[in-house]
Amino acid sequence: MTELATPPVQQEQELKRISHWIGGHTVEGESGRSGPVYNPALGLQTAAVDFATPEEVDRAVQAAKDAFAAWRTVSLSKRTAIFFRIRDVLDEHREDIARFLTAEHGKVLSDALGEVARGLEVIEYCCGIPELLKGEFSEQASTGIDVYSIRQPLGVVAGITPFNFPAMVPMWMWAPALACGNTFVLKPSEKDPSASNYVAELLQEAGVPDGVFNVVHGDKVAVDSVLGHPDIAAVSFVGSTPIARYVYETGTKAGKRVQALGGAKNHMVVLPDADIEMAADAAVSAAYGSAGERCMAISQVVAVGDAADRLVQAVRERLPKIKVGNGLEPDVEMGPLVTREHRDKVAAYIEGAREQGADVVADGRETAPDGDGFFLGVSLLDRVTPEMDAYRDEIFGPVLGVTRVATYKDAVRLVNENPFGNGTAIFTRDGGVARQFQFEVQAGMVGINVPIPVPVAYYSFGGWKNSLFGDTHVYGPEGINFYTRGKVVTSRWPDPATSKVDLGFPQTR
């Protein structure tokens, strides 16, 4: 077994410093507190990110508040033009953004480019903001009375985001928020913060006025300052379930609108009639892509009847072909995990599953590349049962579990009994069964012969149960609703016939 390495740490003075972005400028933090940022492929600390004080969060909120008055009056056509420029500038720099992601998150460059592409789709959707903000109009609701609805921005809104999609998840939030006329304070993950500052610079280049988009870095202190700030109207959160619950409860208690997306344990049901080769390809890419650090990763296959032996064999055959290494190398398909601690935690699940009775078909600890990087190879655990920790917990690493059940009904029961309800998938050739699955399964996003059913930008993304606190999904139409509030106007104008000016109507006075 490969010994799991401890990363060398550079001297503090050699490290890059990552500071806040407030009011269109870099603002160095004054808390004296910072967090380490690693290059996970090298196992090396490369930067230190400033952790904000409540006063620094307040400064960002004030910048956003000051910018709001003007930004909300920018016409829809001008905002649309700015969004087209944002799209062009980010597109032009998509590889630069992706390189930040690979350097600090570890995902392979092709995955990082895919992340930016999916984020850009949300921006493209927001280019249609005049259409998306159209209200309704009822003429002559009563005699001489018209009623119409308009949607208006909330003011200053905030986003708190996870490490696993450091560019795309913030785009899910800031793009619709800004398009709707709000100003934004982003508190990104402290593990891979650089992409957020880089995007802030690109937004400035695209013509977004200073103060409309701000970034404060930090930990719980910054998050609590956001949640308690009286001038923040709404908070969007994506991250783990315990923090999502905390953010939802704390933010709503402070009177804010909150959408908080949590963790996941996505099951992929494979029926005996499925195309097993197709299902195996899907399971491999969805389980090990981005080293399993995706909230839409398939972490658990539920194999029905005799699908199990064939599927486990087909997945096993594919595993040796997955090249693990530094994500900047062109032929590498899976990078490292984000931190050493996380890698060790994931590795412990493999041992735990063995002790609790699972068959360890492939042990990623044995196939991790040499070096100081936070690497694990891919793992496949067969005969995982619902009592095992590897089944119950979100592992968030390149570990795929297989649970064997006798019938379709057993499979659906497992999915529905799981406390998470982010995404799920079914592989079958039977349309009737697939339709029944879509009808009765308790998850927010369902794939039919599709392993990672991340909705396209013109639908909304979100799970059920412990995968979402609040009632609004992110981006798409629900994102537009989240970042606006409705106003209904009932209007009556004096009868023109009563006008003092003779306009040609028959005069009544």
Determine if 248 is a binding residue for ligand NAD (CB under 6 A): no
The catalytic position among 126, 127, 180, 295 is: 295
Compare residues 240 and 285 and give the one whose CB is closer to ligand NAD: 240
Judged by phi (left if over 0) then psi (alpha if -120 to 50, else beta), residue 74 lies in: beta
The Cα–Cα gap between 423 and 186 comes to 26
Determine if 190 is a binding residue for ligand NAD (CB under 6 A): yes
Please, is 457 exposed, middle or buried when counting C-beta atoms within 10 Å of its C-beta (0-12, 13-18, 19+)?
buried
How many residues make contact with ligand NAD (CB under 6 A)? 27
Give kind and range of the element (H or E) at residue 488: strand 484-492
Tokens linked to 103? 């350097």
Q: How many angstroms from the chain centroid is the CA of residue 150?
A: 29
CB of 466 to ligand NAD, least distance (A): 10
Determine if 238 is a binding residue for ligand NAD (CB under 6 A): yes
Between the alpha carbon of residue 99 and those of residues 95, 167, 292, 295, 326, the distances in Å are 6, 11, 19, 21, 12
Site string for ligand NAD, 120-159 (x = CB under 6 A): ----------------------------------------
End-to-end CA distance of the chain: 98
R_g of the chain computed on alpha carbons: 25
Tokens linked to 272? 């005996």
CB of 441 to ligand NAD, least distance (A): 17
CB of 442 to ligand NAD, least distance (A): 15
Compare residues 56 and 382 and give the one whose CB is closer to ligand NAD: 56
Contact present, 297 and 267 (Cβ < 8 Å):
no
Residue with tokens 């003011």: 155
Determine if 161 is a binding residue for ligand NAD (CB under 6 A): yes
Q: Which of 336, 343, 328, 342 is nearest to 113 (CA)?
A: 328
Interface with ligand NAD (CB under 6 A), residue from 49, 129, 160, 175 = 160
CB atoms within 10 A of CB 456: 12
Q: Which of 199, 259, 252 is nearest to 228 (CA)?
A: 252
Active site residue 295: yes
Determine if 463 is a binding residue for ligand NAD (CB under 6 A): yes
Determine if 189 is a binding residue for ligand NAD (CB under 6 A): yes
Q: How many angstroms from the chain centroid is the CA of residue 336?
A: 20
270 residue type, one letter: V
Structure letter (DSSP) for residue 211: T
Compare residues 29 and 181 and give the one whose CB is closer to ligand NAD: 29
Compare residues 360 and 443 and give the one whose CB is closer to ligand NAD: 443
Interface with ligand NAD (CB under 6 A), residue from 263, 377, 447, 451 = 263
Compare residues 181 and 462 and give the one whose CB is closer to ligand NAD: 462
199 residue type, one letter: V
Please, is 278 exposed, middle or buried when counting C-beta atoms within 10 Å of its C-beta (0-12, 13-18, 19+)?
middle
433 SS3 class: helix
Please, is 315 exposed, middle or buried when counting C-beta atoms within 10 Å of its C-beta (0-12, 13-18, 19+)?
buried
Residue list 376-405, contact with ligand NAD (CB under 6 A): 394, 396
Determine if 422 is a binding residue for ligand NAD (CB under 6 A): yes
Interface with ligand NAD (CB under 6 A), residue from 47, 223, 270, 480 = 223
Compare residues 37 and 243 and give the one whose CB is closer to ligand NAD: 243
Q: Which stretch binds ligand NAD (CB under 6 A): 54-62, 75-83, 163-171, 480-488?
A: 163-171
CB of 189 to ligand NAD, least distance (A): 5
Site string for ligand NAD, 299-338 (x = CB under 6 A): ----------------------------------------
Determine if 115 is a binding residue for ligand NAD (CB under 6 A): no
Residue list 54-113, contact with ligand NAD (CB under 6 A): none
Compare residues 89 and 298 and give the one whose CB is closer to ligand NAD: 298
Residues designated as active site: 295
Binding site for ligand NAD (CB under 6 A): 160-165, 169, 187, 189-190, 219-220, 223, 238-240, 243, 261-264, 295, 394, 396, 422, 463, 467
